[in-house]
A and B are shown apart, each in its own frame.
Chain A
Amino acid sequence: MTHGRPGVSLLETLIALLITGALLGFVASTLRHQDELVRVQAAHAALARALRVATVVLQGELRWADPVHDVALMAPDSVQVRAVRAFGVVCGWQNGATFVRLRGMRWPDADKDSVALVPGGRVLAVRGATRTPSACTHTAAEAVFRLTLDEPAPRGALLVFERGSYHLSDEAFRYRRGSAGRQPLTDAVLGDARFLAVSGSAPWELAMRAGPAPAAAHVEPADVRVVFANAMPAFSPDTARSP
């Protein structure tokens, strides 16, 4: 009678190793797929975030712009705009200067701003801007400025604006004020991004199409569209034609 040592046979060991290997392979495959899923999800989120920023910026800048005078599609990768920074109502004049009740996201700067007269749209450069609180009656939401312009502004309103351009370069959405550098407004996550003029010759709409950066090529591209409120057909005493 023979007694073998208790334990596992070679066959049993091989089977156990095979099962463990298969299980580890499955785990590795699952983790790899999950990693891929996370990367796609992150690319989606990054693209969505960049598009959201572009939407908010372009909507805020262009929704109420005059598409004829305020916007110029320079190239598929850049759009030049008059970026409105304050709105004012003319409230007086003195020695060639114009007093204006202003509200805005910042105050006029003689180094970089111009004003567009409303109505009419004539553009005058700002040569000087001084805050003069007591010059005109104004509300708490306004500040009064003494503006030295190329010539006194007539009664009416004016828009204080700076010239700037939006760019799609180096996989990011960027803003450039005047001739300064292009500052990124989003992360570098945009691939194959370009501006498109919609509606042919009538500038009703501006679109920006952007896909993900090449590293996440299988994320679908998306559009940002801005409809110009001022592009609605005119029906006015000043523009209608006589027979």
Chain B
Amino acid sequence: MTLLIALFLLLALSALAAGMLWIAGAQGLITAAGTRHVRLRLAAEAAAMDAFAAWRTPRPGHAVGDAWTVRETGSPEHGTVVWADRLTPTLTLLRATATGAEPGGLTAVARVGLLIRTIQPEELLRAFPGALAARSANLGADAAVDADSADAPPDGWFAADCPPQADRALDSIFGGAVPGVVVPTVANLRQAPSARVRGQPPSLEEPALATGRAALGPLAWDLIPGIADGTMAGPPDSIPAPAGEPAGAPGQWRLLYAPHGVVMDGTTGQGVLVAGGDVTLRHGARFFGVVVTSGSLIMRDSARLVGAVRATSADIAGATVRYRACALWRAVAGAEALRRPFRPAGRWWLPDFAGPP
């Protein structure tokens, strides 16, 4: 009798232990599947972020409506793929898919979309409505502001240095006619008899300049320090003369941020210069590209600025500002900081789906 009871007890305990082991095993399998699912989702997100980090604009040959493969890693059964879907001129959707193997020869897939905002050179060109845009401008003796022949290559440059997109942008933005000086009201423009202003028209009133805050096109001021290719901290100094002038080597077109302003004393520079103080060019200094300053632009002694400038005020004597679409385009399209993508306002991660149900 006792033996029977003991056997029954052992049997019951064994059954319970087996049941619990089965439950634990099932829970373990489910947990492992959940872990794989999360890993796949994170792999898809990481692939999208990786493509985002490596993205550079412009991407010639990819028009609005185009879709193309950006990157692939691993194999179709175990890896990631990122496609780009260009939605608008400035918005592209990165679609990332991560694929992984499941037990039993099955395949699991995770998908995600990442919307990115790119800066197009045309957007930045629109921020420069003339050769010189300022709230007030004082053109002293022998000052020259010239926006005629805006599509011509700068002096010393070859036609091959100027991409056709620059001319196309010029036509689409200005219709080929670029103003010389743009001020809120002509009362803010003082001009010595020997000063020359050329453009179509030579001077233009733009009331919005009186209240507009300093910015680089769509890029607000407080964004610039974080993205600049180089920062000139400390007291105003001359910016280094780049190699490869005048057209510039690819790496020499940069977005430079000078929080306290810049003094160029007989030197040459190029790129996109954003200054938080006065920008002074003197003793034959030359700059190719664009200048944006929340202070004054001061030019003296045969200094030359080839491109365009936007300043709070301008004081020019014996110096020249010449609008050249080619120099503008090379500067804004070549600056590494402006080729990177940004996060658009609001939603940028999106769910993505496999296809028709």
Contacts and interface: CB of A to CB of B under 8 A. Distances in A.
A55 B13 CA distance: 34
Contact of A52 (B8, B34, B67, B119): B34
A200 interface: no
Interface in B1-51: 1-2, 5-6, 8-9, 12-13, 16, 19-20, 23, 27, 30, 34, 37, 41, 45
A201 interface: no
* Chain B binding surface, main DSSP class: mixed
A39 B12 CA distance: 16
Contacts of B87: 89-90, 155-157
A106 interface: yes
Contacts of B85: 89
Interface in B196-225: 213-215, 218-223
Contacts of A140: 355
A66 B347 contact: yes
A196 interface: no
A156 B99 CA distance: 27
Contacts of B223: 235-237, 240
Nearest to B223: A240
B149 to A, nearest CB: 32
A15 interface: no
B275 interface: no
Nearest to B213: A242
B53 interface: no
**How large, as a class, is the contact surface on chain A?**
35 or more
Given A45-B27, A237-B223, A27 B5 contact: yes
A64 interface: yes
A156 to B, nearest CB: 5
Interface stretch (A3-11, A18-26, A214-222): A18-26
Given A89-B93, A237-B117, A237-B223, A64 B344 contact: no
**How large, as a class, is the contact surface on chain B?**
35 or more
B310 to A, nearest CB: 14
A202 interface: no
Contacts of A226: none
B54 interface: no
B105 interface: no
Nearest to A155: B88
A87 B350 contact: yes
A103 B346 contact: no
B246 to A, nearest CB: 30
A239 B353 contact: no
Contacts of B13: 30, 34
B213 A229 contact: no
Contacts of B1: 20
Contact of A38 (B19, B344, B345, B356): B19
Given A31-B12, A34-B12, A45-B23, A230 B355 contact: no
A64 B349 contact: yes
B147 interface: no
Contacts of A31: 12
Nearest to A119: B344
A203 interface: no
A111 B220 CA distance: 42
Contacts of A34: 12-13, 16
Given A89-B87, A238-B344, A159 B9 contact: no
A89 B2 CA distance: 77
Nearest to B215: A242
A157 B9 contact: no
B27 A48 contact: yes
Contacts of B343: 232, 234-236
5 contacts: A69-B347, A89-B85, A236-B343, A236-B344, A238-B218
Interface of A: 19-20, 23-24, 27, 30-31, 34, 37-38, 41, 45, 48, 52, 55-56, 59-60, 63-64, 66, 68-69, 84, 86-87, 89-91, 103-107, 118-121, 139-143, 155-157, 159, 229-230, 232, 234-243
